[in-house]
Amino acid sequence: MEQPPISDYAFLSDARSGALVGKDGSVDWWCPSRFDGASVFGRLLDPSAGHFRLAPAGAGGPGHRVERAYRPDTLVLRTVHHTPQGSVAVTDALAAETGARAHQLGMNSPAVLVRVVEGLSGRVRMALDFAPRPEYGLLTPYLHEQPDGGVLAGAGPVVLVLRAGDLPLRPDRGRVTQEFEISAGQVLGMDVAFGETYGAPPVRLDPLTALDETTRAWEAYRQTHSYSGRYPELVRHSATVLTGLTYARSGAVAAALTTSLPEQIGGDRNYDYRFSWLRDFSLTMRALWVAACPDETSRLFAWAARSIGRIGDEPVPVLFGLEGERDLSEHQCTHLRGYRDSWPVRIGNDAWRQRQLDVPGEVTSAVWRLRDYLGATFEDELGEMVLGLTEQVAATWRLPDRGMWETRDEERHYLSSKVLCWLAMDHAVRLADRLGDRADPGRWAAVRDDIRDAVLREGWNDRIGAFTGAFGSSELDASALILPVAHFLPATDPRMRATIEMIARELGSDDGLVRRWTTDPGGFLLCSFWLVECLVIAGERKRATELFERVVGFANDVGLFSEQIDMDTGTQLGNTPQALSHVGLINAAWRLTEPDSY
């Protein structure tokens, strides 16, 4: 089974874990314990690492056509297969807890994958292929027929139970393959329930009822939110995707569902994104705020404050596990080929060890955004956190770091890191009256001004006529677009205006995509949306609108973005769905609505 294009995948979520299902009807990624748990279906990273395919027999042949869409305001996917013999719909979801509504979604997810087949016309022969391979494909389970006609798969710490109504299932050598016919008007529900070998057994649900309950839970969730700006359907859908990437128990937002999908096919920049980044924090908070998600905003902030803990001399990590875990040490799965032979496959992310000086600025930006909700005086852990971050910036801003793109070579004096240091000090000065007797706004203001002077002096390159990626460098970097977004410098400033135009010309394309740097293999979607924001701030709303509408056209057929887009072919690259890409869309749409906002 060849691995499909990344854009072929749709996203299912129960706000605990997520799954990817392709246009070919194959669930090729599911880590049922939680987003960053081990997969039981991992064909995404190796054809032999497990899948659950459900589609017409001979799908992909002449006369076979696929249409699919989410039920409105949900991550419940309906795929319609049109064949010469008739049409059939398969509706897929990760089940919500029975009775869950609105913000209860994901709190006690049963870890059940639901698939419902419905005959629409004619008589279609369907093929089921269930091949679970737990622990990222390391285990081939024993399969046992059950008295109720289901099949139990057990290996290592994992138990899975496949049920398919009255359809008889016969396991053979670690998989179940079965063909059956479905006529117009017939409905067949099936599910795969996850459990732990030494824990509670898998939950048993009625698939049709579970599908209805899950749809209602998502609809109720979205009904608690509103958005009144431009491109409301795009923003609402992106907000739904962010909800789907939120680990409900803690409020943390995973950067993406997947690990090791490559930035370049055959390349080795393949990283695990199933964690929550503080660098993304203020951008995500801003997007959730724009999309009118106050509960998610507050819970995400509380997660970050608890995860950071008491601040000492060591740099605050840029990322944490979904429940605040700090040690995310990286290892390679040598038994997996990688997506289309893009190796290595990495589990964990060693970026947690890096010094990244932009982190305090991201966190204090979030504090500033929530200041009116956090009280006139910041007490206990909140005050300690802001004071600790501020003093850490004051002591370390002159040091080099790895930068926001998490380079794994030498440290440099990255422009974006210095700008975020400036932002941290600026917010600290503005928040000083809430921080008690230990606040020192005079000294902080002096540090802030020193940082600003250094950025304007060292970050500008006279020879090329633009701000560059690092002090003393001649290399353009799209991260310079954050200067006006962070209110460091107006987009109308001649130096900033020149930088914006040079980035658009040298790093951009006619399609609106913007690379991070000249050798970047793909257009980085967040940077593309930053360019939209910069153009709006500079007063070029018409140009910004045209750019925005070209960039959003790179979403797949169900409105999902990965991290990057291949500049030559337009195909999606990198981990998917990517939170920052959807965050960028929301923030750019709101900037087009309210140019002077935030």
Q: What pLDDT digit, counting tens, does each position of 473-490 carry?
A: 999 999 999 999 999 999
Residue with tokens 């496959």: 345
Q: Which fold has domain 6-223?
A: Beta-galactosidase; Chain A, domain 5 (2.70.98)
SS3 category, 181: strand
Helix orientation angle between 380-396 and 359-369, rounded to the nearest 10 degrees? 140
Cα 320 from Cα 324, distance rounded (Å): 5
Confirm if 588 and 548 have CB atoms less than 8 A apart. yes
Please give the distance of CA 582 from its chain centroid, rounded to a whole number: 8
- Collapsed DSSP state (helix, strand, coil) of residue 366: helix
DSSP state, residue 27? E
Measure the CA–CA gap between 94 and 109, rounded to whole angstroms: 9
Tokens of 536: 């709006």
Are residues 548 and 496 in contact, defined by beta-carbon separation less than 8 angstroms? no
Task: Please state the three-class secondary structure of 29-81 as a single string.
Answer: EECCCCCCCCCCECCCCCCCCCEEEEEECCCCCCCCEEEEEECCCCCCEEEEE
Two tokens, residue 477: 């970097």
Q: Are 21 and 27 a contacting pair, CB within 8 Å?
A: yes
Q: Is 373 exposed, middle or buried (0-12, 13-18, 19+ CB in 10 A)?
A: exposed
Residue 19, strand partner residues: 12, 30
Q: Tokens representing 517?
A: 């740097």
- pLDDT per residue, tens digit, the chain (598 aa), is 679 999 999 999 999 999 999 999 999 999 999 999 999 999 999 999 999 999 999 888 899 999 999 999 999 999 999 999 999 999 999 999 988 887 778 889 999 999 999 999 999 999 999 999 999 999 999 999 999 999 999 999 999 999 999 999 999 989 999 999 999 999 999 999 999 999 988 999 999 999 999 999 999 988 888 899 999 999 999 999 999 999 999 999 999 999 999 999 999 999 999 999 998 888 888 898 888 777 777 788 889 989 999 998 889 999 999 999 999 999 999 999 999 999 999 999 999 999 999 999 999 999 998 888 888 888 788 899 999 999 999 999 999 999 999 999 999 999 999 999 999 999 999 999 999 999 999 999 999 999 999 999 999 999 999 999 999 999 999 999 999 999 999 999 999 999 999 999 999 998 999 999 999 989 999 999 999 999 999 999 999 999 999 999 999 999 999 999 999 999 999 999 999 999 999 999 999 999 876 5
For position 322, what pLDDT does the model report? 97
DSSP track, 507-528: TB-TTS-B-SSTT-SEEEHHHH
Q: How far apart are CA 132 and CA 124, in angstroms?
A: 25
Q: Where are the domains of the chain?
A: 6-223
Q: How many CB atoms lie within 10 A of CB 446?
A: 14
- CA–CA gap between residue 101 and residue 204 (Å, rounded): 20
Residues near 486 by beta carbon (within 8 Å), at least 6 away in sequence: 361, 365, 419, 420, 423
Task: Tally the residues of the chain.
Answer: 598
